[in-house]
Amino acid sequence: MATYQEFIQQNEDRDGVRFSWNLWPSSRLEATRLVVPVSCLFTPLKERLDLPPVQYEPVLCGRATCRAVLNPLCQVDFRAKIWACNFCFQRNPFPPTYAGISDVNQPAELMPQFSTIEYIVQRGPPTPLIFLYVVDICLEEEDLQALKESLQMSLSLLPPNALVGLITFGRMVQVHELSCEGIAKSYVFRGTKDLSAKQIQEMLGLIKPTVAGPQGHPVAPQDAHTSCRFLQPVQKVDMNLTDLLGELQRDPWPVAQGKRPLRSTGIALSIAVGLLEGTFPNTGARVMLFTGGPPTQGPGMVVGDELKTPIRSWHDIQKDNARHLKKATKYYEALANRAAVNGHCIDIYACSLDQTGLLEMKCCSNLTGGHIVMGDSFNTSLFKQTFQRVFSKDFNNEFRMAFGATMEVKTSRELKVSGAIGPCVSLNSKGPCVSENEMGIGGTSQWKICGMNPSTTLALYFEVVNQHNAPIPQGGRGAIQFVTQYQHSNTQRRIRVTTIARNWADAQSQIQHIEASFDQEASAVLMARLGVFRAESEEGPDVLRWLDRQLIRLFMFHLRRSPFLQVFNNSPDESSYYRHHFIRQDLTQSLIMVQPILYSYSFYGPPEPVLLDSSSILADRILLMDTFFQLVIYHGETIAQWRKAGYQDMPEYENFKQLLHAPLDDAQEILQTRFPMPRYIDTEHGGSQARFLLSKVNPSQTHNNLYAWGQESGAPILTDDVSLQVFMDHLKKLAVSSAA
């Protein structure tokens, strides 16, 4: 297996691909028997330090329905200067520029190590990145102040030529004009009235029947950028904008006792989308929504402004008692789709102790590849650092973000693509390689991902369509090509092409090989995505039942317990938030989300991973749990007492001090790299925050069986949930009974 492990690792490192099966069953029938479909996790923009982009256009297959990119798997006749497409077998002549190729002079795309290659192409004038801040001003003074500072700080992080815009909202929505001097100008919209994109653009004076620009600003037709007074280069307006942000006041409209502030989030987003739609379609743009509470008026309203009406809970939703849910969801979906069509992505930064309506708004980010960050307050390092991390740069000193990507999947004839799950929308591109069976977002071979970063990972599901009676010749390989076009953060248009191939295997004769090629981790995540995808669109219990049916042979205990499928104890917003991240993170992170990692620190040795089980909770240990969203440091009872007693400050107990520091340092490491920054929790035995840990561990010891296990170690968990032991028992029983 080691070879497979290496193979898998190598593939992941080079191509950003993890397949559930690394040998593919050669017929449809066999494939369906495998339960876990042929599928993969693909990270299109995986960071490759060793991959310098080439500065020319890819060579495409000449068949109109194929258009596959020349790749190392193609057969090449160097003499005839002809290459054969490995997907459609079309023979294509090389373009004139390739006249000089030969066996010894091959272009990069033909070399096996360049199964993933990136092209830089020239497509029209470079378009600057656009950052449009949409800021809620119905915040507490403290929050608003913190947010203002973050925003001001962010200006310095933006590329100097990026265009920036500002929309603020509360009861009204204000679109600020940034180019003016003297009087600060803004366009105001009432927060209750939905407007079409055209209306918005008219009202903003962006389109006019006459040649004259609004307010006499001449419109230079060839350069739409200058015509838009609302989006201006950072370098030009950063002083203005800094002042403007500095002068932002809380929404002045009075909020009566017992009312929520009126928040026109829906309209604000609609205006942001409309503004970009009219001015910069198909240009990389980020709408960054900062909100501190639920939308309370107008379209997209999530809850009324009466405080006595609480915001919907899962309970309400299940009882069909959430009045605004469907309408709001539909509204935001429509918005998200519009944004997606134009290649704009929407981030949501929601900081509030209560829910902010992420459930309804999540699609804005999910469909456009935007971020969702949820926090308690803008005045927390969680938000501040996370936000800062949005603008982090890679080793090339370029932003880790890409815009307006389209990813196309091409398959060899025996395979068809069933669908994708990730922060993408379908481009509805029908083609020969599109399966009729949909899994996730299907029915297309192209998807649009408006916002990406190097870790954005899609799950792609395939269907083997080769019939059982048409065997594939021995040694046949199936191939898949991913063509991802995107706008790089430096405004270049780039195309990254990844071509992979796997051997076909006859399930009957080579079943053990196939089994050996199984990638448990990838499969777990891939199935989890499917589960989450279904959970999003179907009723909770049904999904669990489906999962149980599907995964009867899989280790999915923690997934069942995860917040991605369980909504108990989570608000709808939290669930949305967790799910959002689950469907876009790469495999490692996804695994952490499914099964949190638990490290134990003690005097008895180096830190070791321990079972995520209540039995791991011991008095003389420090535990570090990473659930992706939370980092919990838990001090066992004794450790906590020692710490309280202050032993760590005594020179003679230096070792204790080091022990205490060890998990902190490790946590720090995680904190510094992860996006979004996890909630950091430092707690101890009996502490209220210990619940974060207790809720995750396998309740092997509960009040029901505390004495049955009879061991000294561990801490009992007061829960009725079944423990892994019980789960496994059931599973075994079921496996046996259904094995027939």
Q: What DSSP state is assigned to residue 350?
A: E
Q: What DSSP state is assigned to residue 615?
A: G
3-state secondary structure of 589: helix
User: Which tokens in the block code for residue 552?
Assistant: 């009867």
* Strand ranges, E, within 196-263: 232-233
Per CB under 8 A, 190 contacts another protein? yes
User: Which tokens in the block code for residue 204?
Assistant: 């903003």
Closest approach, Cβ 205 to another protein, in A, equals 7
Closest approach, Cβ 196 to another protein, in A, equals 12
Per CB under 8 A, 212 contacts another protein? yes
Residue with structure tokens 């932003």? 399
Q: How far apart are CA 224 and CA 232, in angstroms?
A: 11
Closer to another protein by CB, 181 or 720: give it. Answer: 181
Handedness of CA 632, 638, 639, 645 (dihedral sign): positive
Per CB under 8 A, 194 contacts another protein? no
Closest approach, Cβ 187 to another protein, in A, equals 4
In the list 102, 210, 397, 509, the residue contacting another protein (rule: CB under 8 A) is 210
Closest approach, Cβ 167 to another protein, in A, equals 13
Closest approach, Cβ 282 to another protein, in A, equals 26
> For another protein, which stretch binds (CB under 8 A), given 72-80, 173-181, 574-582, 583-591?
173-181
| Binding-site string for another protein from residue 236 to residue 275, where x marks contact by CB under 8 A and - marks none | -----------x-x--xxx---------------------
Closer to another protein by CB, 20 or 227: give it. Answer: 227
Q: 187 — phi, psi (to 5°)?
A: -100, 135
Q: 134 with 289: CB under 8 angstroms? A: yes
Closest approach, Cβ 333 to another protein, in A, equals 24
> For another protein, which stretch binds (CB under 8 A), given 84-92, 141-149, 214-222, 389-397?
214-222
> For another protein, which stretch binds (CB under 8 A), given 207-215, 418-426, 677-685, 714-722?
207-215
Judge residue 145's burial from the number of C-beta atoms within 10 Å of its C-beta, 0-12 exposed, 13-18 middle, 19 or more buried.
middle
> For another protein, which stretch binds (CB under 8 A), given 1-9, 44-52, 185-193, 589-597?
185-193
Q: 642 — phi, psi (to 5°)?
A: -60, -45
In the list 100, 112, 124, 216, the residue contacting another protein (rule: CB under 8 A) is 216
Q: 555 with 42: CB under 8 angstroms? A: no
Closer to another protein by CB, 112 or 209: give it. Answer: 209
**Closest alpha carbon to 663 in 694, 639, 637:** 639
Question: Between vectors from CA 406 to CA 405 and to CA 407, what angle results, nearest 5°?
Answer: 120
Burial string for 353-365 (b: 16+ CB within 10 Å, else e) reads eebbbbbbbbbbb
Question: Between vectors from CA 344 to CA 348 and to CA 172, what angle results, nearest 5°?
Answer: 55
- Tell me the three-class secondary structure of 368-391, residue by residue: CCCCEEEECCCCCHHHHHHHHHHC
Per CB under 8 A, 198 contacts another protein? no
Per CB under 8 A, 735 contacts another protein? no
Q: What DSSP state is assigned to residue 675?
A: S
Per CB under 8 A, 205 contacts another protein? yes
User: Which tokens in the block code for residue 588?
Assistant: 């490692």
In the list 64, 99, 104, 183, the residue contacting another protein (rule: CB under 8 A) is 183
Closest approach, Cβ 208 to another protein, in A, equals 9
Closest approach, Cβ 305 to another protein, in A, equals 16
Handedness of CA 67, 69, 74, 76 (dihedral sign): positive
Per CB under 8 A, 193 contacts another protein? yes
Closest approach, Cβ 193 to another protein, in A, equals 6
Closest approach, Cβ 307 to another protein, in A, equals 21
Closer to another protein by CB, 89 or 253: give it. Answer: 253
Per CB under 8 A, 196 contacts another protein? no
Per CB under 8 A, 221 contacts another protein? no
Residues engaged in binding another protein (CB under 8 A): 172, 174, 177, 180, 182-190, 193, 195, 202-205, 210, 212, 214-216, 247, 249, 252-254
